[in-house]
Amino acid sequence: MNKKGFIFDLDGVIVDTAKYHYLAWKKLANELGFEFTKEQNELFKGVSRKRCLEILLHDIGNVNYTQDDFNRWMIEKNEDYLAFISNMNASEILPDVPKILNYLKENNMPIALGSASKNAKPILEKVGLLSYFDAIVDGNNVTKAKPDPEVFLLAAKQLEVNAKDCIVFEDAVAGIQAANSAKMISIGIGDKNVLSEAQFNFNDFTEINIKFIEELIKN
């Protein structure tokens, strides 16, 4: 088999932690005196925590603050998020993700995580998937957020696979754009109308069969 690198985003692709991010952002917004809706939470997909807080304060809450306030709220949001995810387990893995990971592992395909999350490793540990990944590149390793391709290029480098031989699974527009910028194959997981820039689209992994993965490896 050809050597291909498979790179997975975390939130919304492997596990659904978006709901916990939402609860943590909503808690902070309510403390600051304004509402934060699920629709507004969509703006935060694939975006760094710092940028999310900027959007929350500037665009949604119109809040005046100091740098000390900003730093404190960054920490507070993350502590709330960590409290929400502390009880995560394998039941939180999205449907049929293990099917694909098992196939790739059995066929010795290198697998990486490419995520903006700074909590990627503990989440993978909690749900029992950490051992599948040969490389983890997350918010602790990169300086540029998606749509910059840095996270995926670094993952390819750690897997020792050329960028053009990598396949990326993403649920965010910025992530798809990052994969395309890196000249990788982009697979959108979610609404194809939203992820229209992806080369392939699936609502979730239940729609991805092994034959499709085999074809990606062959080509």
Residue 8's closest CA among 194, 166, 173, 182? Answer: 166
User: Tokens 């978006």 map to which residue?
Assistant: 18
Phi, psi of 57, rounded to the nearest 5 degrees: -75, -45
**80, amino acid identity:** D
Which active-site residues does the annotation give? 9, 11
Instruction: Spell 84-118 as b/e; 16+ CB within 10 A means b.
Output: bbeebeeebbbeebbebbeebbeeebbbbbbbbbe
Which uninterrupted H or E stretch holds 27?
Answer: helix 18-31
